Chain A
Amino acid sequence: MKCKNCSRQVLINDYCKDCFIKYFEKEFRKGLGNLKGKSLCIAVSGGKDSLTTLYLTKKFYPENKILALLIDEGIHGYRHGTIKSLRKYAVEWGIPYKILKFKKPLDSMNPKRPCSVCGVLRRYYLNKHARVFNVLILGHNLDDEAQSTLMNVFMRYASRFNRMTVKQVTHELFVKRVKPMRYLSEREVMAYFLLKGFNTSMRECPYARSSFRDVVRKSLNDFEYKHSGTKLSIIKTYDSLGIINNPVNLGSCNACGEPSSNEVCKACMILKG
């Protein structure tokens, strides 16, 4: 089979290696939008998604002020390997980085639903520390986004819908978010990562398998296999709804002042409970 762009041997997505890399970078660039002169905080875990995000953001905006921010959740035997990779690549690519730890390691909190607790706290710390930057860049891929959208439907979290989009939230303490890989599948990200010769710990979070997200991922991938394009359709449908929705005006948490749709934010409830 031949590449749809040139006559070379096809490798992935009907593209040859070079054309795939070009396609991927073009999509990423489109997803970033115009960030000229903006200071950028990039949320990183040291996994393939965030390292790819870090590499390409720096590639397209080499002059911008950039910080890679890693939140160490305190999960035994998991984060260690990716922190090592972040350190290595940040130095190699000339990007400053900062590592913040959960005040109480996630393991020690012994939470019933570790992934949602972890998610709430990670978003809380990210937003808080990214505030001094113009934009917070997140490495979420198409799979992550399609899963989150479905999860919000399944759990009847209509209010979270608007907050997922990048443009819809207004609160002076809520940092503008950009997700350059929102339309790039996890498989494409991994292919790009491998083709660039990058390397990191591929270990999975020990909590991941027990999460609701994992159930959704599995079903969604089964669906995608039988009906190619499903994930993209979910996101596109969601996007077209977003346009007619009103922006969310978030209130502030009574305890800490951070943006919240409740009187006391989820992070405060977790940290006090």
Chain B
Amino acid sequence: MKVKTLNKEFELKFNGSVLALLGELGLNPVEFLVVVNNELVHELRVLNGDELVEVIPVVSGG
């Protein structure tokens, strides 16, 4: 899958839930929302192969 954060984009081989992905990336789920193919998803949503996964920090902006 393609993972996009605020300032970088990378390919990642990953199987599991949104929550597990955040864990894998070392991110606190309180501080992030995840958007898959332009739609906000629940943290238990299972991610699969060809998706565009955006990890959005909730603190961004002022």
Within the complex, what minimum Cβ distance (angstroms) separates A192 from chain B? 10
* Interface positions of B from 11 to 43, Cβ below 8 Å from A: 28-31, 33, 35, 40-42
Tell me whether A194 and B33 are in contact in the complex, defined as CB-CB below 8 angstroms, given that A202-B6, A204-B60, A205-B62 are known contacts.
yes
| Other 13 A-B pairs with CB < 8 A, given A48-B61, A205-B62 | A10-B42, A48-B60, A186-B58, A187-B33, A190-B58, A191-B33, A200-B61, A202-B56, A202-B60, A204-B60, A208-B62, A221-B30, A225-B29
> Ordered nearest first, which 5 A-B pairs have the shortest CB separation?
A47-B61, A202-B60, A190-B58, A187-B58, A47-B62
A interface with B by C-beta (< 8 Å): 1, 9-12, 17, 45, 47-49, 78, 82, 143, 186-187, 189-191, 194-195, 200-205, 208, 217, 221-222, 224-225
Q: Is the CB of A1 within 8 A of B61?
A: no
Query: Interface size class for chain B?
Result: 10 to 19
Q: Which of A1, A45, A208 meets B42, CB within 8 Å?
A: A1
Question: Which among B33, B35, B41, B61 has the greatest number of chain A C-beta atoms within 10 A?
Answer: B61
Tell me whether A194 and B56 are in contact in the complex, defined as CB-CB below 8 angstroms, given that A187-B30, A202-B6, A221-B30 are known contacts.
yes
Q: Is the CB of B59 within 8 A of A204?
A: yes
Tell me whether A203 and B61 are in contact in the complex, defined as CB-CB below 8 angstroms, given that A1-B44, A11-B40, A12-B42 are known contacts.
yes
